[in-house]
Amino acid sequence: MYNKLSIALGTALAVGVAGGAMAKVEGDTIILGSAISLSGKYSTNGLHTQRGYDFAVDRINEKGGVKVGGKSYKLAIKYYDDESTPARATQLAERLIQQDGVEFMLGPYGTGLTKAVAPVTEKFGVPMVEAEGASRSLFTQGYKYMFAVLSTSEYYLAPVLDVVAQRAKSEGKDPAKMRIGMAFENDGFSLDVRAGVLDVAKKYNMKIVIDDKLPADLSDMSATLTKFKALKPDILLVSGHSKGAATAARQIEEMKIQAPVVAITHCEAAKVHEKFPKSANGMMCPTQWLSNLPKKDAYFGTASQWNEDFKKLHPSYSAVPYQTAQASAAVLVFKDAFERANSFDQKQVRDALAATNMETFYGDIKFAPEGNNIAKPMFYRQIGADGSYKPIVSPADMTFPRKANY
């Protein structure tokens, strides 16, 4: 597994390793560490995350690097592949800290892997900025060294019900008559998403008629969809990361599901708009970030400029997933904290992270005492028949009911 190592440098810089140890700063280079999913069921999102980290490292280095103590430093990242396995992520976080000497960490992909790594970084007092672990349970453990740039998971699908309820009321309909069918992966992230849905469904007295768990390998949800065809709920909600999203979109198309509302997490990352355009038509997609947000910073410019520049470097992306954008934002947060601390002392950097209050292309970032970002909401987009993503600013923007042309 340790052969699955890459170092993102942004220049032709070679980082030497002496005696198997890698310090937090070598010469003019600050080395961050990350155990990330480059294989296994989360490998798609792991790659999106890695590319976002690397893109930010390159840009920061191109623009003069990080200035601490009157000196400019380059950034680099040492990666290990956690194989989408929590136990491996724990081992690799310990290796990065204890053997490689890394003293600042970027998070892995996803809630489950972040839950595995956070106790390790906390134990050793290593500041970690994470971009992909959204479960609210991560922020109830009293961690002092973990900071997350993204909104928490209970807000991923629950606001869809608010939008639908408001749209129904505007048309003189009773939201309480709307029925919900849903299926969630049995992991911390998706179970938090489900909890948020239950809270909002209760608020509107919406009835949940299907409440299923996706199979562990996320390869089949036909049992849920068979029930859906029989019971005909108004709303279909699915959360299972990229693999679950792809499975849902594929089987919705195969089984010709005609739900008035379909909302699925990780649409862009799974490229459902490209791979399954018929079922994706009208699909609601939660997103942490929009490329037309009126936000900017000195390194990437506006949100749209970050989006354009990233797509120039990676033209295979017709729609850049928000996981990539928030990964770039996490690197910006570290750079800002290093410079405000004017130090590489872990405690001083940790305190600088806690005091973060900044605008980035990704949105505003300000951390609660628990480490979650309290300055940024979730957003929604709806996929059109042409595969484009339309921002949902108000319920009137929503195409309702969804009508897929199978």
Nearest of 289, 281, 275 to residue 376 by alpha carbon: 289
Res. 26 pLDDT band, cuts 50 70 90: confident
CA angle 147, 239, 206 (to 5 degrees): 110
Residue pLDDT, tens place only, 276-314: 999 999 999 999 999 999 999 999 999 999 999 999 999
Residues 359/297, Cβ–Cβ less than 8 Å? yes
Of the listed ranges 27-31, 130-134, 390-394, the one predicted with least confidence = 390-394
Q: In Å, how far are 155, 203, 222, 350, 379 from 191, measured between CA atoms?
A: 12, 19, 20, 30, 20
Whether the per-residue pLDDT at 14 is higher than 80: the answer is no
Rounded to whole angstroms, the maximal C-alpha distance in the chain is: 72
The reported pTM is 0.82
Residue pLDDT, tens place only, 339-354: 999 999 999 999 999 9
Q: What is the CA radius of gyration of the chain?
A: 21
Q: Report the share of the chain in percent with pLDDT over 90.
A: 88
- Angle of helix 222-231 relative to helix 241-254, nearest 10 degrees? 50
**Strands 146-148 and 29-36, how do they pair?**
unpaired
Residue type, 320: V
Res. 12 pLDDT band, cuts 50 70 90: very low
